[in-house]
Structure 1
Amino acid sequence: MLVLIQILVPLVLFNIDVGAMDVTSLPPCNFPAIYNFGDSNSATGSDRYPNAGRLLIEFMADYLRIPYVNAYQNLNTTNFQYGANFASPGASVTPQQYPNSNPFDIGIQVKQFGELKLQSNDVYKQAKQTNTSRLPKPDDFSKALYTLDIGQNDLTLCYIIKLDVRAEIPNIINKFAAAIKVLYQQGARAFWIHNTAPIGCFGFASRLIGELPKTQDQNKCYTFMNEMSNEYNRQLKEKVNKLKVELPEAALTYVDLYTPVHELLTTYTKLGLENPTFDGIHRIQSANQWLANRVVNGSMSDPPIPITHACHKRVGA
C-alpha cells in the first residue's frame, strides 16, 4: 500500500501570482483550515457511511497536516477551529424537487458557510474570549483551502428521473460556478475543485441505464454514461478557466478525478484490491488512500500543482 509523503516545512505564503514560475520552487501554503462542499464521497460526522473508513478528504487533510474538520451539524456546539465539512449524502449542485431528495444542495451548503462566518465575525468582534476557541479566526477564512467534490448526483438523478442529461449539464455547471462566486465574495481565495467520476463504470450503473444506450466498452463500462461524465467535466474545466479571469484574486485548481477513478474501477485487482467499493458506489478506505496518492501531488491538476501549493495562482500562464 502506498504511503503519503508529508511536507516537512509548511511556510506562510498565500495567493502569489507566479506566472510561469515552477510553483514547487516556492514554499508550500500554510492553510489554517479546510472548508469542504460535497456529497457522500466526502461527507463525515453522522452522515458518514459506516463501511467507508477514511475518506479522500481526510487523506488530503493528513497530507496538509490539518486536523480532520467536523461536519457542519450543530453551529452552536461543534468545534470549527480548523474548518468545516458541509458535505451531505445525496447532495447535488442543483436543487432537487423529486420526493425524498436531499435538500442540502451546494447553494444551501454555501449558505451554511455564510452562517458560520457570520457567527465567527460576531463572536470575535464582541471579544467573547470563552467562545472563540471553537470558531475560526475571521482572518483565516481568506487563507483556508476550499474543496468542492460534488456533481455526481446531478448526473445520476438525470438517469433516475429520465431527464436529458446533455441538456441539463450547462445548468448544473452554471449553478456550480455561482456557488464558487458566492464563496469568493465571502472571502474564499484558494479552490480545489474535483471533476466527476466515470459513472458508467460503477457497479450500480446497470440499475440506471434504463432505456439509454447499453453499449459497453472493453471494461464493461457503459459508454454513454461515461461520455456524459466526460462532457460534464469538459464544461466544468472550461467554466473554471473562465472563473480564473472573472475572479482575479482566486487560485482555482481543477482536479481530474475521472482518470484515476476509472483506473481504480477497471484495474483494481492489479492494484491489490478485492473491490474498490463496498456498495457499487462508495469507495473503501484503501481505494481512497490510493486515490489520494494520485491527486495530492498535482499530477491530476490543472494547473499542475500539488495541493500543498494550491494557494498560488496562474501557474504556467
Structure 2
Amino acid sequence: MENVKVFSIIIAVFSVLSVESVGLKDLKTCNFGAVYNFGDSNSDTGGGSAAFWPAGKPCGETFFGRPVGRGCDGRLIIDFIAEHLGLPHLSPYLDSIGTSFRYGANFAIGGSTIRPQNESMSLNGVSPFSLDIQIVQFDQFKDRTGHFYNRSYPRHHRNLPRPEDFSKALYIFDIGQNDIAAGLRKKNDSAFHASVPDIVDQLAKAVQNLYEHGARTFWVHNTGPIGCLPVSLHYHDIKPEELDEQGCLKAQNAYSMEFNRQLKARVIKLREELPHAALTYVDIYAAKYELIGNAKKQGFVEAANICCGFHEDEIQVYCGHKQNINGTEIYAGSCENPSDFISWDGVHYTEAANRWVAHRIINGSFSDPPLPIKHACHIP
C-alpha cells in the first residue's frame, strides 16, 4: 500500500514538472468534436426522466424555465463543461424526442452505480443502468450511428456524430457516489472496503473498453464528500463528535476518500496500461469541500441548508412533492433565491454551486495532471 502511495506522489510530481516544462502556451487547444459522458444524477441531463419518470417542477426553473430532466434548478457541471468547449448541452442517449447526437451523447442515469447492485429503483432508488450497461449502450450507439451515417443522405447527418469524431472526443466519467451510498446503507465497513478494489477495477475496465474502440482522452471525476450532503445531516440523529470542522459526517466522508484514493491509484496504473491515452483525474471532492468550507465567503448561505423541500420539526418532504401533515397539505417547493444555496434538494447541488465547481475544475486547478480541460488531450 505504501508503495502505491509513493508511486502516486512520484507520478503526480512528474506530471506537474512535465506540464510546467512544456508550458500551456506551447500546447495546442484540443479539438473535441464531441463529448460522451457516463455517470449518475450528478450529470444526468434527462436519461432518468426518459427511462423512469420525469423530473417535475420546480426543477429547471432557474435556467431553463421548466423541468428538462436535470435534478436541480438549472445546469449541471457537465452542462458548463459543454458550454466551455463551445458545444451544445448533451442529449440523453435514452431521450427519443428533440435529440441531436452530432456533438456527443450522455449515457448518465440518476441512481446509477459503477458495480451492478442487487437493488431496484423503486426500493432504493438504484438504477439498473450501471456503468457496464452504459458502456454497452455506447458500443451499440457507435455501431448504429456509424451504419446510418454511411448509408443515409447528407441532410440526415446533422443529428448523427461523425465517425471520425469518436477518436477525438472527450470521454467523461462522473460516477461512484451511489456505490458509496449503497455501502453506507448496508452498514458494513469491512464489506465496503473489500468491495472498493472491484468497483474501481470495473471503472477501469470501462475505460479500457472505450480505449480498445479508439477513445483516447478521458476525464475522470472522483466522488464528492457524501458526508456533507444535507440529506445525510437532516435524516439522521447525529452526535457532535461525528462531525468534522465543516459540519460533515466524518465516517461517511471516509468512505468517499477511500474510494477516491483507490480510484486515483487505478487511473495512474491505467496510464501505464494505455500508453496512447490521456487520462485526467479530477478531484471533485476537494473542489466541493472547498466550496462547503467557504460557503459564506463565496456568497452562499450555510452549506447544510436546502433550497427545495420541506424540512422542519423532523418532517421531511422531498423537493417537488406534496404530503398531508396534520390535515394540511404541504407542498415542498423551492426557496426564493436558489443561487444563494449550495444544495438544491439535499442531494444535488444548485446551478450556482455547479457553476462554482465547474469553473474551478475546468482550468485544471483540481486535476492530475494539472491541465485545463481544453488541453486534456495531451499526454504529459
Normalised by the size of structure 2, how large is the TM-score?
Answer: 0.73
The Cα of 1:126 is off from its aligned counterpart by 2.5
Q: What secondary structure is seen at the aligned counterpart in 2 of 1:142?
A: coil
The answer to whether the aligner puts 1:149 opposite 2:174 as a matched pair is yes
CA–CA separation in structure 2 for the residues paired with 1:285 and 1:74: 22
> Which residue in 2 is equivalent to 1:205?
232
Structure 1 counterpart of 2:86, one-letter code:
R
Q: What secondary structure is seen at the aligned counterpart in 1 of 2:272?
A: helix
The answer to whether the aligner puts 1:37 opposite 2:7 as a matched pair is no
Correspondent of 1:231 among 258, 282, 285? 258
Structure 2 counterpart of 1:283, one-letter code:
Y
The answer to whether the aligner puts 1:51 opposite 2:51 as a matched pair is no
The Cα of 1:251 is off from its aligned counterpart by 0.5
Whether the 8 Å contact between 1:202 and 1:265 is mirrored in structure 2 is: no
Question: Which gives a bigger RCO, structure 1 or 2 (Cα 8 Å, sep 6+)?
Answer: 1
The Cα of 1:105 is off from its aligned counterpart by 0.7
* Structure 1 vs Structure 2 CA RMSD: 2.3
CA–CA separation in structure 1 for the residues paired with 2:184 and 2:234: 10
Could you list the runs of 5+ residues in structure 1 that have no partner in the other structure? 1-17
Deviates more, 1:160-169 or 1:55-64: 160-169
Cα 1:272/1:240, change in 2 over 3 Å: same
Q: What secondary structure is seen at the aligned counterpart in 1 of 2:215?
A: coil
Between Structure 1 and Structure 2, whose CA radius of gyration is higher? Answer: 2
Q: How many matched pairs?
A: 297
Could you list the runs of 5+ residues in structure 2 that have no partner in the other structure? 1-17, 50-68, 302-340
- 1:102-251 aligned at under 5 Å gives the runs 102-163=127-188, 164-206=191-233, 215-251=242-278
Structure 1 counterpart of 2:23, one-letter code:
D
The Cα of 1:224 is off from its aligned counterpart by 1.6
Q: What secondary structure is seen at the aligned counterpart in 2 of 1:113?
A: helix
Percent of aligned positions with the same letter in both sequences?
43
- Cα deviation, 1:264-308, whole Å, max 9, x if unaligned, reads 223212210132011111010111111111110001110110000
Cα 1:28/1:212, change in 2 over 3 Å: farther
CA–CA separation in structure 2 for the residues paired with 1:27 and 1:295: 19
The Cα of 1:27 is off from its aligned counterpart by 1.6
> Which residue in 2 is equivalent to 1:292?
358
- Cα deviation, 1:139-165, whole Å, max 9, x if unaligned, reads 100000011100011001111133432
Q: What secondary structure is seen at the aligned counterpart in 1 of 2:159?
A: coil
CA–CA separation in structure 1 for the residues paired with 2:255 and 2:278: 27
CA–CA separation in structure 2 for the residues paired with 1:212 and 1:98: 30
The answer to whether the aligner puts 1:79 opposite 2:100 as a matched pair is yes
